[in-house]
Amino acid sequence: MFLIECPWCGRRDQGEFSCGGEAHIVRPASPDDLDDESWADYLFNRKNPKGVHLEQWVHIQGCGRWFNAARNTVSNKIVSVYKVGEEPPHPEKRKPVPESGQ
Amino acid sequence: MSDSTLLQSPLIELEKSGRFQWVGDTIELHQSPFMGHIRIRGDLSSPLFVEKIEQATALPLPASCGGVSFGEDLKIIWISPEEWLLVLSSESRVGSMIDRLKTRLEGEHIAFVDTSGGQTVIRVSGENAISLLSRGTTLDLHESQFLVGSSAQSILFGATVLIVRVNSNHSTPLFELYCRRSFADDLARRLIDSAQLIK
């Protein structure tokens, strides 16, 4: 068990939160133009890194809000949390947007 | 509003007669059923929304986590950055309050939901109230961390519970636990079981 800092409620136990998977995945602007491989990549393929990973979390048992967290997948240390719409602290960790995307 | 004679307390199974209560040497549990609960949603950055809510309730709208505004027979509890729980002393007052709020905020992007039928309040008091609640939550409930007059929504004995530390005239702490009525029976039983272990 570890503590997660909710941007609104402060430090709370992990049990109050739920993880929503990788953050900053942008839906392609025109899916019809994508080939099967790119579409499957958008739907299914995730980074699964060893190290800092940008994730979506929700404070489901508290204020119920979604936010993003940069978590080290090896040490489980939350490097930073930031609100949805804010720039991530490690932009290089973002998943690249497919060419036909926005 | 439904007729109060038709209402059944969420803790009916635990009540032998009258309202639910459990009294130990250092802990007391009581239920306050049939209170009025209104979920308010709106935009805190809208001055009109804040002003009208404050006019209608005569209470300031808490702006941050843990904030509670206490009135004589109503209170407003912060739930999330755009959601509040307005608690009234009786379910029968909910209809007129929602009407009053709606009239003042007509056309605004807001929502009022009457959740009175789905929620209940269990009051925990006594000198060992903090020890009891600490057995079921990861929150630090010590007075220096969880201030008198503040609130937090968290997990208590497995249920999602909004915990409010109420100002009380007594020297012992008093907490109000807002939970869903379907969880209330389980929560009350777990509180009683744990309270019996505390000497």
Q: What is the torsion angle, in degrees rounded to the nearest 10, for the CA atoms of residue B188, residue B41, residue B70 and residue B175?
A: 20
Interface test with B, best of A2, A9, A58, A65 (most B CBs within 10 A): A9
Tell me whether strands A78-83 and A66-72 are parallel, antiparallel or unpaired. Answer: antiparallel
Based on the structure, what is the number of domains in chain B? Answer: 2
Average pLDDT, chain A: 88
Instruction: Verify that B89 and B60 share a domain, yes or no.
Output: yes
Mean pLDDT of B25-47: 93
Residue B4 lies in a domain: no
Cβ separation B155–A15 shorter than 8 A: yes
Regarding whether B109 and B135 lie in a shared domain, the answer is no
The CA distance from B153 to B185, in Å, is 19
Q: Does B150 touch chain A (CB under 8 A)?
A: no
Res. A99: pLDDT tops 70: no
Return the closest-CA partner of residue B77 out of B35, B40, B29. Answer: B40
CB B65 to CB A64 under 8 A? no
Within an 8 Å CB–CB cutoff, is residue B77 touching chain A? no
By the CB < 8 Å criterion, does B83 face chain A?
Answer: yes
- What pLDDT is recorded for position B14? 87
Kindly tell me if the per-residue pLDDT of B186 is higher than 80: yes
Cβ partners under 8 Å of residue B103, min gap 6: none
The residue count for chain B: 199
How many other CB atoms are found less than 10 A from the CB of residue B140?
A: 12
Residue B6 lies in a domain: no
Q: How confident is the model at residue A45 (pLDDT cuts 50, 70, 90)?
A: very high
Q: Which residue type does A33 have?
A: D
Q: Mind listing the pLDDT tens digit for each residue in B114-140?
A: 999 999 999 999 999 999 999 999 999
What is the C-alpha to C-alpha distance for residues A87 and B116, in angstroms, rounded to an integer?
40
